[in-house]
A and B are shown apart, each in its own frame.
Chain A
C-alpha cells in the first residue's frame, strides 16, 4: 500500500471512528455506582451551590450588568470626598468603558526610565521617581479574593498589607499557578504589548506573553486596581475574574512571622534573606507543608516552601520549563526555568530530611545563594 496522506478530513473521520468505538466499549463496562454517603453529600452541595461559583462574564445580561455598574458607582460615589468626585467619576466611566480612551495603548506606554526588578517577569517603573501623593495613603477597606478554592485550587501564598493584597493559587495537580493582586495604587504593566478590551462595560488590559506563556490581565473597579496572572487561557481567566468576592481572612492557617505554632515537622525552616533586602511577609503552615513569602523593598516576591521528602517528578510541566541539575556545596539543586530569557525559576532541593523549594524571578545562581541561607527557625 502506498503512503497515506493524513489530511484533516481523513483524521476527522478516523478519530470519530476510534473514539466512538472507545465510547461503546466503555459503556459496555458501565457498572451501577453506589456512591458513599460523604460523596453524595458533597455532590449534592456542589450541584445545589454551583451557581455560587460558576458565573462567566460572557453570561452577564445587559440589564443586570447595568445594575451592577450602577450599584458599584453609587457605592463609590458615597465614599468619595466632594472635591474628588469629578475626577473619580471620570475614572470610573473610563474603567467601565462608558468613556472610551482614544488611543489607550499609546496613552498607557510608560515614558519614565525603567528599572528592572525581578518580580514575576515584570518591569516596574522606578518608584523612587514618583512624587508622593495622597493616593499612597489610601488603604484597602474591602478586600477581594478569587472564589476558586472549590475549583480545585489551594492557596499557596497570602501576602496581605493595608495597600496591597497578593494571593497565589495553585491547581490541585500543581500545573497551574494563578496570582491575584488587589492594590490601592495602580499596578504597573509589563513592557510586552497588550490590548484593552471592554467586556460587559468593564475595561481590561490584557497581555499574553509568548515568552513565559502567562496571561496577565489588569483592571480597575472604583478605587481598586486588580491584576490576575496565570498559565491559563483568557476564557478561563475571565471566568475566574467573575468569581471575585469579598475576602474572608483565613485566620486558622495564616500566622504572624514571630509567632510559633504546632508544627507538623520536627523543625520549621526559613530563609535568612535579611542581608539580601528581603523581609518575611507571611508564613503559612498546614499539615503537609509550610509556605513562607519574602518581599523585597522593590516588591519582588519570593515563595519558599518546606515539606516532607517527596518526589518532584511530574510536578513541573517539562514541556514548558527547562530542567537542569546543579550540585553546589554537596546539595543537589533541581532547577526549572521557563525559558532562557525569562526570569521565572523554580528550584527544588533536599536537606535534613525535608524537601524545599523556591519559586521566584531571578537568576538561578542568585536563587541558589538564597537557598543556601535555609536554616531551622
Chain B
C-alpha cells in the first residue's frame, strides 16, 4: 500500500535525465568499462551497475551536456568496472597498477607552474586516492556524498583523503621534506 502512495510522487524529470544520460554516454561508459574488463558482457554488467548508482545520484547532475557530467559518468563506470573486476578475480584493490591510465604528457613549455607539477603528480596516484581528490576538489562533494558514491563509510573517505594528500606531498616534495 505504501508503495502505491509513493508512486504518486512525480519524478519524470529525473527519469528523462537518466534516459538522456544513457543515450549520450553509453558509448563512453562502455568503453571505459571495457578498457578495464576487456570483456563485453562484463562491461555491460558494469554499465548496468553504473546506471543503478547514477539513479541514486541524479540530484547531483545539473546539466546532462555539462563537461562535469561526462567526467562523472565516466568515473562511475570505471568504479563499477573495477568492482566487477575485483569480484571476478577475487583480488584486493591493487594500488599503483590500478592507477588511472594517462598517456605521458611531455612538458612542452618552459613555463611549468606549481599547478602543472602537482597535476602531473596527481596522475601518478593510485585510483582510490585520485578519485577521492576528484570528488572532493572537482565535484565539491561532501564526505558523506563521496561515501555514498564509493559505497564506503565516511570515515574511510576522510582517511583516503588524508592519505592521498600525504602521498601527493611525498611525490611533489620528496621523502625528506626540507625547506
Residue ranges of A at the interface with B (Cβ–Cβ < 8 Å): 2-4, 6, 8, 10-23, 25-27, 29-33, 35-36, 39, 42-43, 46-47, 50-52, 54-56, 59-61, 64, 67-68, 71-72, 75, 142, 144, 147, 150-152, 171-173, 175-176, 213, 221, 231-236, 239, 242-246, 310-311, 313-314, 317, 319-320
Contact = CB atoms under 8 A, between A and B. Distances in A.
Nearest to B82: A173
Contacts of B172: 4, 6
A233 B6 contact: no
B51 A46 contact: yes
Contacts of A243: 6
Given A11-B137, A30-B28, A233-B154, A313 B90 contact: yes
Contacts of B165: 6, 11
Nearest to B165: A6
5 contacts: A12-B137, A14-B115, A33-B31, A60-B9, A71-B5
Contacts of B1: 75, 142, 246
B134 interface: yes
Q: Interface centre among B91, B122, B156, B165, by most A CB within 10 Å?
A: B122
The 6 A-B residue pairs with the shortest CB-CB distance, nearest first, are A14-B118, A245-B3, A33-B30, A17-B119, A15-B137, A14-B119
B7 interface: yes
Interface residues of B, number: 86
B156 A244 contact: no
Contact of B91 (A8, A233, A235, A314): A314
B7 A52 contact: yes
Contacts of A8: 137
Contacts of A313: 90-92
Interface string B117-152: 111101100000010011011100000110110011
A60 B11 CA distance: 10
A51 B151 contact: no
A47 B102 contact: no
